[in-house]
Chains A and B, each alone.
Chain A
Amino acid sequence: MTGASTTQPRAGGAYAPAAPDPVPLRKLYRSAEGRMLGGVARGLAGHLGVPVSWVRLVFLALLMAQGMGALLYAVFWFVVPLGVGGVEARRPDEEVAPDGRRHLFARKPDRGQVFAFIALIVGAAIFLDRLHLGRANVYVWPLVLIGAGVALVWRQADNARRAHWVEVSRRKRVLPLARGAAGVLLVGAGVTGIVVLQGSAEHLGTVLQASLAVLVGIALLAGPSVVRMTQDLSAERTMRIRAQERAEVAAHVHDSVLHTLTLIQRNAEDSREVARLARAQERELRAWLYNPEGHGKDESDEPETLAEAVRANAAEVEDHHGVPLEVVVVGDCPLDERLRAQMQAAREAMVNAAKYGGEGGAVQVYAEVEGRTVFVSVRDRGPGFDPDAVPDDRMGVRESIIGRMQRNGGTARLRSVPDGGTEVELEMERAEETS
């Protein structure tokens, strides 16, 4: 299947053996998790297998030695790609939000990160203050400005790369743009400062004009291809998503439909079984296609609401007895004790209808929630029967349906309907609070 490679994240998670990887692939990445600045220290620590604090201390010590640490850090930041290195196996529930999407963006800058930034700024200020480079001293501030601008833009690139992992995230585009612009502005200011300091201020206008012209020229030359590339990228991304979707549908069809068809071929002479299989498959496929929330839900899940319970009961009865049940539910409400009892009575009624009235066609199941009253009717088009003629030892209707409803404060009525068949009507008040 073409989609095999595109469903990588999920498939990878499913197939990767969980236990035997005490020696993971040691590749140097900067860490996106639990980092303070660029994640260099964290990544190195993971790579070397030492505590993060050691690495950070070494960097600090080097920083004291003529700013070597800062330079080293910057080089690492620049060169090493962002990854997930250095973090001890995190609890998976932390990484993945309940809706299944990665949680990277929702992350707020933690206190450590803020603290690190402040410390860095203070340290840099002290460092710069003590720096005596004579004539070159005046260039320091423009250089700092340039550095800050570059850092801003590079952090941006980090985020862009992270966004790649998080798939297509619907974010506001304003923030990244603003950051980019701020970075460019800072760099521009820095460069201008240097030019001014060099004493060629009178040429500033000309220089600016010239550089602007160059920039426009580059934009004109490279712009179209950049735009084209972006479009290609997003088109490719859409295609990938579509392929993934298709793969999922194909997988589902393969799992359930083809499987059922095979079973049907094998049981071709048993028409009852064939009908049962086909109906079960139809129901499942319908649920899968038309209610996305029912998607991938476990069949064994205990139903939470009335509508679910009615449908689940009907589905089971349909499977067992091979008689189609048409279910119509109006309104919905959560199940309580009384309604559970009503559901059991309804199930009994469905079983009876399927057993004795199934020859007359589909059994109709109707449930309605109106205010606090829950009404369920089950009708078949079978021969019908006389409730008074049922022998005393047959407890099905009397105990399971009528008795159960009365014990729980509801009512059950059994009657024959105009053109043959039987209808069971169950009425129950909901226990407490109204909707």
Chain B
Amino acid sequence: MTNGTTTEPVDRRVRVVLVDDHRMFRTGVQAEIGVTDRTGVEVVGEAADVDQAVTVITASRPEVVLLDVHLPGGGGAEVLRRCAGMLASTEAPIRFLALSVSDAAEDVIGVIRGGARGYVTKTITGSDLIDAIFRVRDGDAVFSPRLAGFVLDAFSSTAAPPVDEDLDRLTQREREVLRLIARGYAYKEIAKQLFISVKTVESHVSAVLRKLQLSNRHELTRWATARRLV
């Protein structure tokens, strides 16, 4: 995607906590993104299960948490639930980026509904991951193509329109943006394609995330139930 972050000197910093129950994986991520001088990412803590994660996050107050979905002790959704207070805090919010090997719909929808700001799969490259971390830190949402596909599916496949239709439906533009994400475009490429700024793309994606968390709850639930996901 953007190779810029790895080569040009960085003047920005982000404090990150890694939550994953596989030590090998944490080591790998650490090696990939943790060279602070080059990437700007500073790994301030690691955790292997839910309890540990809550402790570490509370103690180190990172800006971004890379969160695995499957964890001993209740999974990523449980961590999000217990950290709900810090998630909502206004002066120093902690943002969660789900990083999982699973791209099953129930996992994805579960952590997004729990309040994660993005979802990327473990096939992501190091530079893309760094990019995603900074974007999440800045308050934007990061979707993987697959997640975009799930969201499009969720919003389009329900036949009967709900009562608050206007509130729930994605706008034409948001739909377009999601579609391009699902087709594997990077945010920058989407901006070029649609002749809008990257900031606008990001705000569209954030709007989708907001709708996903707040207003579309019953529709998504129905969708998930119809597929026997919940």
Contacts and interface: CB of A to CB of B under 8 A. Distances in A.
Interface in B167-184: 179, 182-184
B157 interface: yes
A418 interface: yes
B188 interface: yes
A1 interface: no
B152 A330 contact: yes
B149 A419 contact: no
A370 interface: yes
Contacts of A361: 125
A362 interface: yes
A247 interface: no
Majority SS of interface residues in chain B? helix
Contacts of B115: none
Nearest to B148: A328
Max chain B Cβ within 10 angstroms of own Cβ: one of A329, A362, A366, A418? A366
B221 interface: no
A364 B145 CA distance: 9
Contact of A331 (B145, B148, B156, B188): B156
B42 interface: no
B182 A330 contact: yes
Contacts of B125: 361
B193 A328 contact: no
Contacts of A366: 145, 149, 179, 182-184
A15 interface: no
Contacts of B192: 418
Interface string A323-350: 0101011110000000000000000000
Contact of A377 (B148, B183, B188, B193): B183
B123 interface: yes
B183 A330 contact: no
Question: What's the interface size class on A, roughly?
Answer: 20 to 34
B104 interface: yes
Given A326-B145, A366-B145, A366-B149, A379 B184 contact: yes
B51 interface: no
Majority SS of interface residues in chain A? strand
Contact of A418 (B104, B146, B152, B193): B193
B138 interface: no
A362 B146 CA distance: 13
Contacts of A290: 102, 104
A368 B104 contact: no
A417 interface: yes
A331 B157 contact: yes
B123 A331 contact: no
Given A362-B123, A379-B184, A330 B193 contact: no
B49 to A, nearest CB: 22
Interface string B133-155: 00000000000011011001100
Nearest to A324: B123
B37 to A, nearest CB: 26
B186 interface: yes
Contact of B184 (A330, A331, A364, A368): A364
Contacts of B123: 324, 326, 362
Contact of A329 (B149, B186, B189, B193): B149
B146 A330 contact: no
Given A330-B156, A366-B183, A368-B179, A419 B148 contact: no
Contacts of A324: 123
B160 to A, nearest CB: 14
A331 B153 contact: yes
Contacts of B182: 328, 330, 366, 368
Contacts of A326: 123, 145-146, 184
B104 A328 contact: no
A418 B123 CA distance: 23
Contact of A328 (B102, B145, B156, B186): B145
A326 B123 CA distance: 10
A326 B103 CA distance: 11
Interface string B185-218: 1101100110000000000000000000000000
Contacts of B179: 366, 368
Contacts of A289: 104
A423 B156 CA distance: 24
A106 B176 CA distance: 51
B172 to A, nearest CB: 12
9 contacts: A326-B145, A328-B149, A328-B183, A330-B156, A364-B184, A366-B149, A377-B183, A418-B192, A419-B188
7 smallest beta-carbon distances between A and B, as pairs: A364-B184, A328-B149, A366-B183, A290-B104, A418-B192, A330-B152, A328-B182
Given A289-B104, A328-B182, A364-B145, 11 more contacts: A328-B148, A328-B183, A330-B152, A364-B183, A366-B179, A368-B182, A379-B184, A417-B189, A417-B193, A419-B188, A423-B183
